[in-house]
Chain A
Amino acid sequence: MKGRVLAEGSSEGVALVLREPLSLWGGIDPASGVIIDARHPQRGASTAGRVLVMPAARGSSSSSSVLAETMRAGCAPAAILLGEADLILAVGAAVGQELYGRHVPIVVLPPTDLAGIADGARVRVDGAEVTSSADERETSV
């Protein structure tokens, strides 16, 4: 699959497909990457090192800081795949890169491609190129 790059980089990890929109601010603990939003169905799951699949954005404009802080603390997602462009996350990743030289690639994919990525699939992101191998799916969370 090919998407539009909002933040450069290459990485891979196990997909965490959000079943409902999540605001990183108020939604995850920046010291661990764990989802803390009491109303979110995936509360308790960790976003650290995962390829976070977010079909829709939600909520606070402070999510840039939370993303940069997880990059500083070493518990950022491996990559973020979006259904629509989100400048708040793009700038958060850019600041993390400016300050700490680390990368969280962010790619916007067409909705049908995004929907094809299964929770738990191994996903590789390389610039605009996204590959998902469902056969190598891991069951651990």
Chain B
Amino acid sequence: MLGGASGEGAALAMRLVIRAAESLDAKRLIPIIGAHVDSCLYHGEATVDFVDRLVDGGAEVAVPTTLNVGGLDLLHPELWHGDPRKAERGRLLMDRYRSLGCEPTYTCAPYQLPFARPALGDQVAWAESNAIVFCNSVIGARTERYGDFTDIACAIAGRVPDAGLHRTDARRATLVLRLAPDVPRALLDDDSFYPVLGLVLGRRAGSRVAALDGLPPALSEGRLKAIGAAAASSGAVAMFHAVGSTPEAPSLEAALQGRAAEETADVGVAELRAARDELTTAGGAAPAGTPIGSVSLGTPHASLAELWAVDRELGGRRSAAGVEFLVSTARHLLAEAEADGLAWRLRAAGVELLVDTCSYIAPVLRPSSLPAMTDSAKWAFYAPGNIGVEVVFGSLRECVRSAVEGRVWRDTNLWGSA
């Protein structure tokens, strides 16, 4: 392959896999059963130049490969409010990756598509930080923290470096974060607790594998997804264990693989409150009553369960006039939501359903001087830099109620006096 017998594109892919192996200190390559590729999001002409080199070089993926979000919603192009040329380049890049043999899933949450979900112990090459952490932590399939270019290179080579989280020993928790006794139990019942905990996890762990101890057992996939997405935004977290919830952590001892932790620390309510407050960039900490311009949910892409939760919280009410209410999801899940009437119900309540991309990547929000509200720590993290909005962070319930009222609504019981 390296010598070019399989074509110039495959040779380039193999050179990059070997570069990755060298940087991971791997001694050999191992086969994979699938890949998830993030390189289809336009980041400038370099991303097009690269895929052109692969396509012109006759490359094709060697394993089933899903695609991450792209630069625009191909099914609803009218939602694009930006530079038309950039939309065209984004679309071109998304098409080019299909021509390498990738599935046009265009979602950051491939783990929510039954056909794209690996099994416990499977070796894969996944990119997209939230997908990586979900794959390793919640499914127990094995991937390193792959990024743009490496993901498609591994998919074409059908192989990955035998290193890092592909190996059992690297999956051991070295840091234990215990929930301190001062964290109100009621808070653990609220969805907004989990992205905030993830934010703290990312800060504390950096790139280490941590075990979270003291959480309720059997946490939902939605809550684990929120922890992981936040931790992969504030740190370089590629895997965590939630004792009693994730498959490699039936017990703390299992997460530690029978060895001692290198560090154990408590996470208390003061640190969590500070992290939560940091997610809100809008002036004066955006108290209840602050007018908002938009609400963005579905980062990472909403599951069907999360779409139903939005419907439930709306309870037949509509979002306020002048408030843009966007929920991002996968096109495959939208098709299901359209088939069973859920999409119709949401749209009738004023919700715009965005697919193939995300509202903090694509210019879809109409320009507004008012802040945007979100239940996603990841969205809160990246939106101010990417699309220049001020953010108000809140729970799903707070976000939906705020959309209905047109101003920030707070569930004051949740975070105590803070």
Contacts and interface: CB of A to CB of B under 8 A. Distances in A.
A69 B16 contact: no
Contacts of A25: 43
B129 A87 contact: no
A88 B148 CA distance: 8
B50 A61 contact: no
A61 B44 contact: no
A62 to B, nearest CB: 5
A88 B46 contact: no
Given A85-B23, A90-B20, 8 more contacts: A21-B235, A39-B384, A61-B127, A61-B129, A72-B45, A91-B23, A91-B153, A95-B46
Interface string B197-234: 00000000011000000000000000000000000111
Contacts of B24: 85, 87
A61 B38 contact: yes
Contact of B278 (A37, A39, A88, A99): A39
A31 B23 CA distance: 27
Contact of B44 (A72, A86, A87): A72
B145 interface: yes
A50 to B, nearest CB: 19
Closest 3 CB pairs of A and B: A61-B147, A69-B44, A88-B147
B236 interface: yes
Contacts of A99: 46, 49-50, 53
Contact of B236 (A59, A66, A92): A59
**Which size bracket describes the interface of B in this complex?**
35 or more
A84 interface: yes
Given A37-B385, A88-B145, A61 B45 contact: no
B127 A72 contact: no
A125 B18 CA distance: 23
B19 A62 contact: no
A72 B43 CA distance: 11
Contacts of B308: none
Contacts of B127: 61
A50 B390 CA distance: 30
B376 interface: no
Nearest to B17: A91
Contacts of A27: 385
B235 A61 contact: no
B12 A98 contact: yes
10 contacts: A39-B381, A60-B147, A64-B148, A65-B39, A87-B23, A87-B146, A88-B150, A91-B23, A95-B50, A100-B46
